[in-house]
Amino acid sequence: MGRGASLWLAYLISLAPAVSAGTIDTDFLQRPWPKQRVRTYEVGRAEVRWRQQASKAEGVFAGVRFQVPLPRQQAWDLSSDFSDIGQMTPGVTSVRFLEQTPTRQVIQIDVKVLWKTLRLKFEVEEEPPKVMRFRLVNQVIGEYRGVCVFEASAMRQGSASQEEETTIELSTWLKPARPIPMGWLLFVERMTMLNGIRKFLASCEAHRAPAHRQDR
């Protein structure tokens, strides 16, 4: 995912393949989670809404909602560019597309962690430019699913122009294959997501029209 790749991948790589075919079920991620906790963080100039819920029985739920200063199609294009995963994510030594269509990709990644090389396989399904779903099923990690929704925001009045923005909401679920402290998982997930958002926002700023950048 271009400069937003680490938002979804770095956390999994820091933890550790078979991917089943068919639609990835993420409906449960888009509803309010029981006993979820919500708070807000400032990331650069952006306000990020963070929500979380975790239990040993159900796994770890984590999500973020924030705005980017780009129209939806442009924000989508940046998020769905998988070409530089290897450059953006530490430890990645190889990236291969086992399947690639306008609405579905299967991506195989080799990553070196200490003295081991792990092979991870991600399945991605897309409904451009609105929804992206992804899944990893791995014997070491467990099962990881996520959904990213892109919503066109109201136009923002600028000093000389109007800017269309996009609201992005990313929701994820991890069911670990082995017992892992829930607090630690949530901490790593939060830090990884916020860091990914910071990089993605910087990429968005770099892709804005020069006139828009001067207005701010």
Any domain includes 30: no
Any domain includes 99: yes
- DSSP, residue by residue, 102-129: SSEEEEEEEEEETTEEEEEEEEEEEETT
What per-residue confidence (pLDDT) applies to 87? 54
Any domain includes 28: no
How many distinct structural domains can be found in the chain? 1
Check if the beta carbon of residue 149 is closer than 8 Å to that of residue 131.
Answer: yes
The residue whose two tokens read 């089943």 is 20
Range of the domain at 43: 2-21+36-154+163-208
The Cβ of residue 176 has, within 10 Å, a number of other Cβ atoms equal to: 17
pLDDT in tens, 92-148: 788 899 999 989 999 998 887 777 788 889 899 999 999 999 999 988 889 999 999
Percentages (nearest 5) of helix, strand, coil residues in the chain: 30, 45, 30
- State which H helix or E strand residue 61 sits in: strand 59-68
- Would you state the torsion angle of the CA atoms of residues 9, 189, 129, 103, taken in this order, to the nearest 10 degrees? 40
What per-residue confidence (pLDDT) applies to 126? 93
Any domain includes 177: yes
pLDDT in tens, 46-103: 999 999 999 989 999 999 999 999 999 999 998 887 665 655 566 778 889 999 998 9
Any domain includes 120: yes
pTM: 0.81
- DSSP, residue by residue, 133-182: EEEEEETTTEEEEEEEEEEEPPPEE-SS-EE--EEEEEEEEEEESS---H
Q: Which two tokens stand for residue 83?
A: 């070409």
With cut-offs at 50, 70 and 90, classify the pLDDT of residue 154.
low
Any domain includes 31: no
Any domain includes 176: yes
CATH number at residue 87: 3.30.530.20
Any domain includes 26: no
Total number of residues shown for the chain: 216
CA 58 distance to own-chain centroid: 21
State phi, psi for 87 to the nearest 5 degrees. Answer: -75, -30
